[in-house]
Structure 1
Amino acid sequence: MARVAIVTGASAGIGAATSRLLHERGFRVYAVARRLDRMAPLATLGIHTVRADVTSEADLVALVDRVMTESGRIDVLVNNAGYGSFGAVEDVSLDEARRQFEVNVFGAARLCQLVLPHLRAQGSGRIINVSSVGARMYEPLAGWYHSTKYALEGLSDCLRVELEPLGIDVVIIRPGGIETEFPAAAGERLLAISGDGAYADYARRYALTLTSDAGVLSSPSVAARTIGRAATARRPRARYAVGRGAKAALVARWLLPDRAYDRLVIGLFTALATIAARRAKRSAGA
């Protein structure tokens, strides 16, 4: 019997790459996203595509009911759906902050709640939560995004020790820079929220680093391969760091005192902004 996997945020990037990889490895995959049309290439491969919003209770209940009705089991849940709404903490409305928590944290949590009765009945299963190196580090103008990742990891750690006696594994994936829609979308939101006012100069320089190709991004397939290992390993690790710069960022955060790390973050931000500005200037003159 084929193993069954649910992958959220599957319309592009890590979610789409993960859906393809698990399908190639023999899983019966249910790829989930709000934009069904964007998943047409997955459907042509034989992957089951499902339109669902992770903030909708009705959508999530219907998703799990469909998987159980059609496949009779769930072996792996990959909570990958998420987004980054960047902007100064002062500028981001609380409605937008709540929306980010609804997608990045509560959507994943609710889907865990819905699949767990089935995993417990099986006495097996694996929940893979896609977090970020941003759950350990921090940067300016991204406070609400980082807060969601810190929260997701805290929830995942507690869930792991709750479920270990039941034969269910919980794994955290910490991507670094991955070549997805995320950087450009985050840069656009940053300018929309903090592009004017007290943080305008900071925001414009940071948005430039997000939307430029700084040569530090890894392919989504790199993250997908790590998720594939986490899904199939006999005894997976609790955490996997993946993508260019991910391990270095985590080591730096572990080694440096807070104030020293603050200076590193500010210095790195300034350097990247300078490089991005020079590249943009060269491109404009080409």
Structure 2
Amino acid sequence: MTATTKVALVTGASSGIGEATALELADAGYTVYAAARRVERMEHLKSSGIRPISMDVTDDPSLIAGVQQIIDETGRIDVLVNNAGYGSYGAVEDVPMEEARYQFDVNVFGAARLTQLVLPHMRGQRSGKIVNITSMGGKVHTPLGAWYHATKFALEAISDCLRVEVKPFGIDVIIIEPGGIKTEWAGIAADKVRAVSSEGPYAPQGNAVANSLSSESTQKRSSPPELIGRTIRKAVGARKPRTRYAVGFGAKPIIFMHDVLPDRTYDAMMRRVTGVPSS
């Protein structure tokens, strides 16, 4: 550590966007702590100078211990990237409330709690950047994605309010809205919808959505996670970063169409895209 070395904490760093972001920030000269539940999946990051750290965003003691470890070892936290999250799809009627609550625990409350823990240190420094990974799904809706979209809409709202609150302390809040990205996310979401909505009254919709999420064509069109990593590197390095970055396959055009089309026209478009029957 030198007096000018900046420190970044990236959650959900065992694969996908989190891993790509950790590598980009390390390459940019940050001391990077890569956080995830399964530390063994991050051993390979050590060769890039990255420090794996055990952290479960749904377990408060692990968050407190993780932040304290970083402060003890480096004395500061300059960048927090709240990336940990997953997609839980299924009809509202089918998804158990325990699953809905867990989706919020991971995607929203974990990010909010970690933000609470790093803010006193950033305020003390009079500087810092908090990067919240939402999704184009924080601006639009897709069939059977109610609980996932609810978490991302919530994280967008929290980010907007937080940005105003922390501005007097020299802290920036940046929202990243990825489109389709080649990660484990789509496969997990497909498995979730099959588990709860592949039978019963919502089966035609559930199977169509699952097939759409896991299709080979969807994966081929999706952008690499490195694109998001590069975007985050650019954002945290900017003196005046934008408040939002919509990047990756489909992000900008789908958000635009959602904003300009009448609701029912957008609904019909989403049904066509995902193959969901209209009746």
| TM-score normalised over the length of structure 2 | 0.96
Residue 76 of structure 2: aligned partner: 73
Alignment partner for residue 27 of structure 2, among 15, 24, 28? Answer: 24
1:198, CA displacement in angstroms? 1.1
User: Retained in 1: the 8 A contact 2:212–2:275?
Assistant: no
Distance in 1, matches of 2:43 and 2:203, equals: 39
Distance in 1, matches of 2:174 and 2:109, equals: 17
1:131 aligns with 2:143: no
Alignment partner for residue 162 of structure 1, among 165, 187, 202? Answer: 165
Aligned partner of residue 174 in structure 1, secondary structure: strand
1:104, CA displacement in angstroms? 0.2
Residue 210 of structure 1: aligned partner: 213
What's the CA shift string for 1:68-90, capped at 9, x where partnerless?
00010010000000001111110
Letter of the structure 2 residue corresponding to residue 41 of structure 1: H
What's the CA shift string for 1:248-281, capped at 9, x where partnerless?
011111111212211111122229x9xxxxxxxx
1:143, CA displacement in angstroms? 0.4
Distance in 1, matches of 2:85 and 2:246, equals: 18
Residue 278 of structure 1: aligned partner: none
Distance in 2, matches of 1:259 and 1:197, equals: 25
User: Retained in 2: the 8 A contact 1:216–1:245?
Assistant: no
Residue 109 of structure 1: aligned partner: 112
1:44, CA displacement in angstroms? 2.4
Letter of the structure 2 residue corresponding to residue 49 of structure 1: P
Distance in 1, matches of 2:207 and 2:270, equals: 17
Distance in 2, matches of 1:258 and 1:202, equals: 19
Distance in 2, matches of 1:254 and 1:207, equals: 26
Residue 3 of structure 1: aligned partner: 6
Larger mean CA deviation between 232-241 and 213-222 belongs to 213-222
User: Retained in 2: the 8 A contact 1:132–1:175?
Assistant: yes
What's the CA shift string for 1:1-26, capped at 9, x where partnerless?
21100000000000000000100110
Q: Which runs of structure 1 show a deviation greater than 4 angstroms over 4 or more consecutive aligned residues?
A: none
Alignment partner for residue 245 of structure 1, among 226, 240, 250? Answer: 250
Distance in 2, matches of 1:180 and 1:86, equals: 16
Percent of counterpart pairs with the same letter?
A: 53
Q: CA RMSD in A?
A: 1.1
Distance in 2, matches of 1:174 and 1:141, equals: 20
What's the CA shift string for 1:34-54, capped at 9, x where partnerless?
111111111222200011100
Alignment map for 1:1-286 (pairs within 5 Å): 1-214=4-217, 215-270=220-275
Letter of the structure 1 residue corresponding to residue 245 of structure 2: Y
Distance in 2, matches of 1:54 and 1:81, equals: 8
